[in-house]
Amino acid sequence: MPAWLPSQREFRGLGLALTLALVALFLVRTVFRGSPWAPDIVVAIGLGALVLNSRVARWIGLNVAGGREGDPYERGLRFTGKWVLRLAIILMGLKVRTDILEAQLLLQVLLVLLFTLPATFFVAHTAAGLLGLRREMADLVAIGTMVCGASAINALAPTVFAHRRDQGLAVTAIFLFSVVALLTFLPLGTALGLDTESAGLWAGVAVNDLSSSVAVGSQFGEQESLIATMAKATRILLLGPLLIGFSLLRRRAPAEGRARLRLAAHLPLFVIGYFLLFGLRLLGDSFFLTEGTPSEVAWMAVLDANDLVVNIAIVTVCATIGLQIHIRTLLEVGWRTAVAAGAAWGTLAALSLGMLFAFLHDATVIGLTAGFGTVGLGFVLFRRWAPRPISLRARLDGGEPLSVREMVELFDLLDRDGALDAGVARRALARVEPAIGELVPLRQSTIQGGINYRRLTFWRSAQQGSSLVGILWTPGTTAHIHSHDYSAVCRRIEGTVEITEFERAAEESLRVVRRSRLGASSMTEFSEAETIHVVRNAGAHDAIDLHYCEPRGSRRAERFIPRDANAPLAPGEKLAVDVVDDSLPVVDAELGA
């Protein structure tokens, strides 16, 4: 079955997210009655967080510990966060209204955006750097402010390998300043005497999410609302190019040539789909929008159906985001995200207002000078204080979480300096939190024959032969009884496995020592040729390990084949075995997948 179609094991998580989304849509239309103060995306995130942080999670069997150990919803939630989101992004290409893109106002919007977007990017990253936020968070805050709030954040998150927690925090913070705009734009615009065009343009270029942008325009008047919609549509058009720009900006070269970065990592395929459907919207509007004709009715029905699907899909994704937000985490780091979002939005709102006010009073040179000056100052601040991704040693020493990519870069750095050993690897593995999409190459790698597991090398030392290996045990998988020709430190990322350990009783006999059940976040180690064990995934969900493997030693890896296939494996029992050499496959990861 194609990966983009849900399997039976994914229905439960997908159904939970969809149910919360439908409840959110119902509440917005009946209780909140379409109020801009409670948009469906925020209500969905709130419902997801409420379920996760309440007794409801225990009632339905949703794991709240963060590791998703044995969680029957995890696969479906992961499917929603990836494939449902990508479907929504592609279909958003049909949502762009081409009938309100007027040439004169469009030119003015583009001129303002030419200065406000880079200034917003620079300030968002400067604020994030000063507040100690990760660069991925700065990217999410920046694009959410620059384009269209939650939709842009959700679209960018897999491109920059952000954490789901970061998505939720960024969406919440961005919406906060849509509320601020609803409270402040009308009195401020009225006091400054903005005309219809300026007020509508300001609402369109400086309010974060679409619904709030239209609502702010409506506060000024009906005509202003239409102009705000046009300006906002222009910003939404920039989502595709900005996604490509971010993916190129954040691409990372393969370490020592060990991995290949695919074109899809530089130019996400769902972005291509977005542009294709935008082109279809242009063609459809050109050929079918003849007033009163059957073709117009049919085309509008298609667009309405598309809008409904996109709305449900985005709200479903937002419910999934809410199901990742732990209240304690929100309280710990949420205020910093809000401050960074406030700095970015304040820059966008102030600069766009200043330029539009200057244009209104025939002071174009002053407006352009303000634009150049703000962008220049923002760039200087960005160069000085933007988050630096090279502070990996400090991140490890400070106990900060590490993505798989960051751990690979850290291992490269330490390996070149001769400072990488099992102790350092143990500390790094204890802090690893895979970002969105980082484990996809492992999940999609070839199943290795004989054991029915997936194995992928994320990193290999250029100096000493050590490596970072991911292993995915599918449900029901049982490995052979084996030893290794290397020592390793292991961290379980998700799922639960059962490990049975043995000791040599004689040359061709083993004794069962113990049997352990190890869940998510557990750490284990094994020694070259001394550790003899068998691993079994007895659960109904995948189990994923990350292994730091030391250089191969002089002892051989062995496989122990029981002469009695039904021999008991209770502690203290002996079993006769045949001993043969063992070898493991080596498959390198494509880190850009």
pLDDT, residue 259, reads 33
CA 547 – CA 471 distance, rounded (Å): 8
Please write down the HEC assignment for all residues of 163-218. Answer: CHHHHHHHHHHHHHHHHHHHHHHHHHHHHHCCCHHHHHHHHHHHCCCHHHHHHHHH
Confidence category of residue 593, pLDDT binned at 50, 70, 90: very low
| pLDDT greater than 80 at residue 267 | no
Looking at the DSSP bridge assignments, the partners of residue 481 are 560
Q: Phi, psi at residue 370, to the nearest 5°?
A: -60, -40
Q: What is the pLDDT of residue 276?
A: 87
pLDDT digit string, tens, across residues 177-233: 887 887 899 889 999 999 988 999 999 999 987 767 876 887 787 678 768 877 887
Dump pLDDT digits (tens) for 44-97: 888 988 998 888 888 888 865 544 445 788 888 888 877 887 788 788 778 766
Q: How far apart are CA 356 and CA 199, in angstroms?
A: 9
Rounded alpha-carbon distances, angstroms, from residue 407 to 32, 398, 441, 475, 548? 45, 14, 16, 27, 11
* Measured torsion, CA atoms of residues 153, 322, 337, 520, in degrees rounded to the nearest 10: -100
Beta-strand ranges (E) seen in 424-541 are: 447-448, 453-460, 467-473, 481-482, 488-494, 497-506, 509-518, 523-526, 532-536
CB 119 within 8 A of CB 203: no
Phi, psi at 54, each rounded to 5°:
-130, 180
State in Å, rounded, how far the first CA of the chain is from the last one: 19
Q: Which residue has the higher pLDDT, 226 or 419?
A: 419
> How many CB atoms neighbour CB 98 within 10 A?
14
Q: Could you give the residue ranges of the DSSP H alpha helices within 417-488?
A: 422-431, 440-443
Sign of CA dihedral 167, 94, 245, 145: negative
Mean pLDDT of the chain: 84
Beta pairing class for 447-448 and 558-562: unpaired
pLDDT at 299 (0 to 100):
92
Angle between the N-to-C axes of helices 327-360 and 103-131, in degrees from 0 to 180, rounded to the nearest 10 = 140
Q: Encoding tokens for residue 88?
A: 């929504």
CA 38, 44, 46: angle at the middle one, nearest 5?
80
Residue 38 has pLDDT above 90, yes or no: no
Query: CA-CA distance, 28 to 13, in Å (whole number)?
Result: 23
Contacts with 294 (C-beta within 8 Å, 6 or more apart), sequence order: none
Q: State mean pLDDT over 246-269.
A: 50
pLDDT in tens, 361-393: 999 999 999 999 999 999 999 999 998 755 678
Residue among 450, 468, 482, 481 at smallest CA distance from 557: 482
304: CB partners within 8 A, 6+ apart: none
State the amino acid at position 200 in one-letter form: G
Residues 6+ apart with CB under 8 A from 77: 13, 14, 16, 17, 320, 323, 324
Q: Using alpha carbons only, give the angle 316, 319, 325 rounded to the nearest 5 degrees.
A: 150
Measured at the CA of 567, the angle between CA 565 and CA 573, to 5 degrees, comes to 150
pLDDT recorded at residue 27: 93
Is the pLDDT at 440 greater than 80? The verdict is: yes
Distance (Å, whole) CA 206 – CA 209: 9
Q: Which residues have C-beta within 8 Å of that of residue 412, sequence separation ≥ 6? A: 255, 256, 459
Rounded Cα distance between 131 and 164, Å, is 20
Domains in the chain: boundaries: 9-252+265-385, 436-581
Hey, which CATH number is domain 436-581, 2.60.120.10, 3.90.1170.50, 3.30.2130.10, 2.102.10.10? 2.60.120.10
CB 370 within 8 A of CB 351: yes
Q: What is the pLDDT of residue 286?
A: 87
Closest CA to 371 of 110, 593, 550: 110
Q: Between β-strands 488-494 and 574-581, what pairing exists: parallel, antiparallel or unpaired? A: unpaired
Rounded to whole angstroms, the Cα distance separating 266 from 254 reads: 13
Separation of CA 528 from chain center: 37
Alpha-carbon Rg for the chain, nearest whole angstrom, is 27
Q: What is the pLDDT of residues 313-361, one digit of tens each?
A: 888 988 887 887 677 655 655 789 999 999 999 999 999 999 999 999 9
Give the pLDDT of residue 270.
67
Task: Please count the helices (runs of H) and the strands (runs of E) in the chain.
Answer: 22, 12
Q: What is the spatial distance between Cα 368 and Cα 452, in angstroms, rounded to a whole number?
A: 63
Contacts of 231 (CB under 8 A, 6+ apart): 105, 109, 200, 201, 203, 204, 205, 213
Instruction: Say how far residue 501 (Cα) sits from the centre of its chain.
Output: 38
d(CA 133, CA 147): 21
Other beta carbons within 10 angstroms of residue 35's beta carbon come to: 11
Residue 254's pLDDT is what?
Answer: 36
pLDDT at residue 537 tops 70: yes
pTM: 0.68
Select from 463, 474, 446 the least CA-distant residue to 411: 463
Burial class of residue 344 in the structure, from the number of CB atoms within 10 Å of its CB (0-12 exposed, 13-18 middle, 19+ buried)? buried
The whole-number average pLDDT for the span 257-278 is 56
**Which amino acid appears at position 261 of this protein?**
L
The alpha carbon of residue 176 and the mean position of all alpha carbons in its chain are separated, in whole angstroms, by: 21
- Of 130 and 149, the one with more pLDDT: 130
pLDDT, position 268: 55
